[in-house]
Amino acid sequence: MQRRDFMMGAAALALTQPTMAAEIKDGGSRMIAVPGGMVWTKAVGPNPNILLLHGGPGFSHDYMECFEDFLPPAGLGFYYYDQLGCGNSDHPNDDKLWTIPRYVEEVEAVRKGLGLDHFTLLGHSWGGMLAIEYALKYPQHLSKLVISNMTASIPSYVEHTRAIRAALPPADRATLDKYEKLNKTDDPAYQAVMDKVYHAHVLSLKEWPEPVNRTFAKVNQHIYNLMQGPNEFLVTGTFKNWDRWNDLHRIKARTLVMGAENDEMDPAQIRREASLIPGSKLWMSRTGTHLAMYDDQQAYFGALVPFLKA
């Protein structure tokens, strides 16, 4: 056999044989089984060991995309995940699923699915409530905890939102009263007043960033209404009696509590929260709101990143 014929034959044979495939890249996204369905997760940055819990309930991870501009450049990898019923995750039609205990088990299933241990859990708003619950039930898995813009009690939260409402102009309070009595909180006049509240206490930027708008456009209003209620002034949902003031002393993970002076969460309650968690650190935005990660961004991440790296 001529060498040329041999090489051609070998080449032809190679084309018919299976070869070792290169690793398929998927951008870090994967689905994980949790009680009730499948949830979407995504790894961002190097060696992720931080899990973000978005707010809501019923919202999605999208508004937290600003973390990409601060954590990976500092060498901090993290995971997004959309809670069940939200965003890219399954949307089962079963109201028995929307409970705090099941969501805690969901977080634990995500932890196992991602192979995390001695990890950092960062929860914002409702995600902060969920982070507190997880820290109380599964302390052995946590290294650090960040509670961002969340008080330790819904009844205490309601006290503060009542004060916010009482400070509104009389005409705005009358509009709220009128449409609440009519059970028409979706009326444009009612929503116009709520928009004023949101710009004063949720996000003060004149133009809201695209990821924030995308989050509000994707909200699962059914879950939000079932667990919280129609809005910040009408907390009628299933978690209306949630209160953990007396349990904060049991949190053992190194903790950073973050708040803002103009938040819909009472700054005094945020300070109290930090004082009750042993050894915790407190950061308060002097100018920001509930989304201080945007409207006091440099200061927010200026406090968060060093804590995560320490």
Give the DSSP per-residue string, 272-309: HHHHHSTT-EEEEESS--TTHHHHTHHHHHHHHHHHHH
Q: Is residue 6 part of a domain?
A: no
Q: Is residue 44 part of a domain?
A: yes
Q: Is residue 182 part of a domain?
A: yes
Which residue shows structure tokens 């993970």? 253
Burial (CB < 10 A; 0-12, 13-18, 19+), residue 27, is exposed
Q: Is residue 17 part of a domain?
A: no
| Cα atoms found within 13 Å of the Cα of residue 2, Cβ hemisphere only | 3
Q: State the Cα angle at 12 between 8 and 15, rounded to 5°.
A: 145
Point out which residues pair with 175 in neighbouring strands: none
Query: Do 248 and 277 contact (CB within 8 A), yes or no?
Result: yes
- The domain that holds 268 is classified in CATH as 3.40.50.1820
Count: domains in the chain: 1
Q: Is residue 14 part of a domain?
A: no
Q: Is residue 11 part of a domain?
A: no
55 by DSSP, 3-state: which?
coil
Tell if the pTM clears 0.85, that is, is over it. yes
- What pLDDT, on a 0 to 100 scale, did the predictor assign at position 19? 52
Burial pattern 111-147, b for ≥16 Cβ within 10 A else e, equals bebbebeebbbbbbbbbbbbbbbbbeeeeebbebbbb
At 143, the pLDDT band (50, 70, 90 cuts) reads: very high
Residue/partner pairs of 162-167 with CB below 8 Å, 24 or more apart:
162/233, 163/266, 164/197, 164/201, 164/232, 164/264, 165/233
pLDDT digits (tens, 9 = 90+) for 287-310: 999 999 999 999 999 999 999 999
Q: Is residue 21 part of a domain?
A: no
Catalytic sites, residue numbers: 125, 263, 290
How far apart are alpha carbons 290 and 302 in whole angstroms?
Answer: 17
Chain CA centroid to CA 7, Å: 59
Q: Is residue 9 part of a domain?
A: no
188's enclosing H/E stretch is helix 188-201
| pLDDT-above-90 percentage for the chain | 89
Residue 239 sits in which domain range? 29-309
Phi-psi region of 97 (alpha: psi -120 to 50; beta: other; left: phi over 0): alpha
Choose the weakest-confidence range: 4-8, 56-60, 73-77, 192-196.
4-8
Q: Which residues have CB under 8 Å from 195's CB, separation 6+?
A: none
Query: Do 255 and 123 contact (CB within 8 A), yes or no?
Result: no
Cis peptide before 57 (omega within 30 of 0): yes
pLDDT digits (tens, 9 = 90+) for 206-260: 999 999 999 999 999 999 999 999 888 889 999 999 999 999 999 999 999 999 9
